[in-house]
Structure 1
Amino acid sequence: MTATATLTPGPVPALEPPEGAPARSRARDIDGFRGFAALSTVVFHVWQQYFRYDAHGSHPPVDNPFVGAAFSFEVIDLFFVLSAYLLTLSYARAALDGRSVRPAKVFLFRRAIRILPLYLLAVLVVWASRNPTLPGNWRDLVEHLTFTHVFDGRRIFYTLGPTWSLSLEVMFYVVLVALGPLAVRACRTLRRRGSRVALCAGGCVLLYAAPLAWIAVAHYVVGVPYTDWAVYFGPQARFGGFAAGMGLAVLTVALGPRGRLAPRAALPLCALALAGLYGLSLFSAPENAAFTFYHPLASVLWIVLLFGTLHIRRPTFWNRLLTARWAAAAGLISYSLFIWHEPVMLVLHDAGLLPTGRSGFLPAIVIVLLAAVPVAAASYWLIEYPASLLGRLKDGSGRPREFYPRTAAR
């Protein structure tokens, strides 16, 4: 099932390690994941939107299926898992170890600061360019501004196609601030840490199983076609990725520093996860279960890869690859790249600047990247970064931050 991907907006804050953990932050590894995945998303959309179909029907731009599996590799579930993992960590520490957690209003305020300025500007600019006369497709605009287009099977990919997944991100934020405090309060009634771990892990398993059941019933019982986007792209089908990320947060906090992997265990685990993800891309076809349950299966493999990357005693070769400067730089502008790469691609296509046919596939990737990356970099520094400064107006408890010391009264 083809899909566009989302990125959790903005640079990742430094991860607060559990008690006794090494001081080294995993934020650079996360930035590297974002960078690789952002570039992969651009490649995937070049594959998906311009070269998959020709006059004779389905026609992949690469003859070799093993090479094609790499170009058509989807990273959507990585971003769901990664977002849920990072944002659930504080709740997991509060539930299992009694730590404090930021108020919901602070969490939502900072998420809004990171997401909304660039998103709203991009939606208005792109929608206006495609609707030069009013009222235009006003329903499409309203749905995008309210993050409800994921429920509209017709307009889900209008204006900014990839942002259907951003709708799910926003819904997850609301779910997290509702369930997180409930889990913390429930765990504080339990004396044994093992019971608290079991309660949190059980909740994650239930949240993961619900979308599995939905997909199974929709496909095998009701017979809903894969092209019914609202059925297979909505939260009822895709929240499994967030549940997997929440489970990873619970797992890493539960294990603590003693559960960190040595390099000789971490590297094979990462290799196994990458091989599994590649195998899913290679063998997934509409007639098999790997296609039907691609995203829940991919979510599990992503948490294995993240665990083998982040919960380690010391860096491995894989960590050094992720922390390369170019990968971190791509991770820094990943949200802007996610927002702007499709409009840039369409402008290039409409101007006749993208080559066609199989021979044009690789040049098209280069052209789109050469155009989209500078746009994303400018967007980050001119829109994202200045907007992020507003997040400093409030401290961790939600009170207005004082930037100058008070003068003692005379």
Structure 2
Amino acid sequence: MTAPAPEPVSGTRGFLPAVEGLRAAAALGVVLTHVALQTGYTDGVFGRLLARFDLAVAVFFALSGFLLWRGHAAAAHGFRAEPAVAPYYRSRLVRIMPAYLVTVVAVLTLLPDAHGADRAVWIANLTLTQVSVPKTLIAGLTQMWSLSVEMAFYLVVPLLALLAAKLAPRLRIPVIAGVALLSFGWGYLPIPAYYGANPLNWLPAYASWFAVGMLLAEWMFRPFSWLHRLARQRSTLMVVAVVAFLVAASPLAMPGGHHHATLGQFIARTALGAVVAGALLAPLVLDAPGDQHRVLGSAPMVTLGRWSYGLFLWHLAALDMVLAMLGQAAFPGALPVVMVLTTTFGFAVAAVSYALLEEPCRMALRRWEGERRPTVAGCVSSVRDSWTR
């Protein structure tokens, strides 16, 4: 009797539409949390649940870990050459900074609540170092703390890849998982507060969220195993994500009222965020070739995913404009009205940003690289884009 052919390695696929759709869903989660806070939905069970959509940031970090590590995982398993460092940094710079800088300048110049920003605020926000410089998160730009953490991760990815390349392939997953577990102890280290800067806002505190994506990237190139089988139990993983989300919204991981979270609550929230992100991302990247994700992989969600970076950048400014237009923030039924208007305006600006700034900058980089290395750069840049979008 002939043995069944081995299943194709899922990591050999390029662009994953459902992953782009998940990015859009995460962006909407971030918007929902901020709309709820600004419209007064902060108390009771409903307020806790809405505020806990901040775990969308965990999904964003896991997506970054997955997309930026996948090329290195593929190289470790012999599926491609190791990604070059200089093109990687150029692509990250062009992907992130043009739209970001336009947003910062526009918000600090035009948003009334941001008027009066001093030089430290300008420098920290222009350089994406807000989490390291105290009192530089300002109205319209407070969400950028997470982008500051992501930028720190982008900078260290080549170093992490260099260190991981020294490991045997079978050790890569245990080591990444071990580092993720160790990161939960970051808050216990005797790190002095740097003039009020909070070490819990620094990259090591969120290493587990990035590690979730990195581990899934590694697993994409491993033989079919128990994790692939689990990832294809979508209903089971959705239950896991929902339960983890509900626990994260409980007093175990979330303080009541306007109190600050204890270190234990912060660690619980971080661990549960890793579970949520992993449970949502795994079915999209460890699925069987040919599996359909009718919602997240649909054309509208993929389009919104392409615009999601712009929505993230502009949604607080859009929210401020909506609240000013309505004249009051907490009237009965405010949340759905403000949410619809904020996402409408936010996506409108995001679509313009993508069409007139983000995509032209990416295409300009591709042309520049093509002119430098005409024989291979066009192909290389196209493949790289499909693996890191």
Smaller-chain TM-score bracket:
0.7 to 0.9
Which whole-Å CA distance do the structure 2 matches of 1:273 and 1:266 have between them? 10
The residue number in structure 2 matching 1:303 is 278
CA positional deviation for 1:252? 2.4
After TM superposition, the score normalised by the length of structure 2 is 0.80
Equivalent residues in 2 for 1:48-67, closer than 5 Å: 48-52=37-41, 59-60=42-43, 65=45
> Which of 169, 172, 179 is residue 196 of structure 1 equivalent to?
169
The aligned residue for residue 230 of structure 1 is 198
Distance 1:384 1:279 in 2: 38
Q: Measure the CA separation in 2 of the matches of 1:103 and 1:152.
A: 31
1:209 match: 181
Aligned to 1:143: 124
2:254 counterpart (268, 273, 285): 285
1:294 to 257, 269, 282: 269
Indicate how the Cα distance of structure 1 residues 353 and 376 shifts in structure 2: closer, same or farther if over 3 A, else same.
Answer: farther
The one of 120, 127, 130 equivalent to 2:101 is 120
Letter in structure 1 aligned against 2:285: L
Report the residue type matching 1:342 in the other structure.
L
1:190 is aligned to none
**2 CA distance for matches of 1:308 and 1:217?**
35
TM-score by structure 1 length?
0.77
The 5 A counterparts of 1:3-402 are 20-21=9-10, 27-52=16-41, 59-60=42-43, 65=45, 69-70=49-50, 72-74=52-54, 75-97=56-78, 99-129=80-110, 136-157=117-138, 160-184=141-165, 186-187=166-167, 195-198=168-171, 200-216=172-188, 230-255=198-223, 260-261=228-229, 265-283=233-251, 284-286=253-255, 289-313=264-288, 319-353=293-327, 355-395=329-369, 399-401=372-374
The number of equivalent residue pairs is 362
Unaligned runs of 5+ in 1: 1-17, 53-58, 188-194, 406-410
Superposed displacement of residue 28, structure 1: 0.7
Q: Is the contact made by 2:35 and 2:338 (CA closer than 8 Å) also made in structure 1?
A: yes
> Contact 2:8–2:289 (CA<8 Å) still a contact in 1?
no
Contiguous gaps of at least 5 residues in structure 2: 1-6, 256-260, 379-389
Match of 2:381 in 1: none
Q: Which moved more, 1:298-307 or 1:331-340?
A: 298-307
Q: Is the 8 A contact 1:354 1:367 kept in 2?
A: no
The residue aligned with 1:408 is none
Rounded to whole Å, the distance in 1 between the matches of 2:244 and 2:312 is 25
User: In the alignment, is the contact (CA less than 8 A) between 1:262 and 1:313 conserved in 2?
Assistant: no
Aligned-residue offset at 1:132: 11
Cα RMSD after superposing both structures:
3.5
Offset at residue 68 of structure 1 (A): 5.2
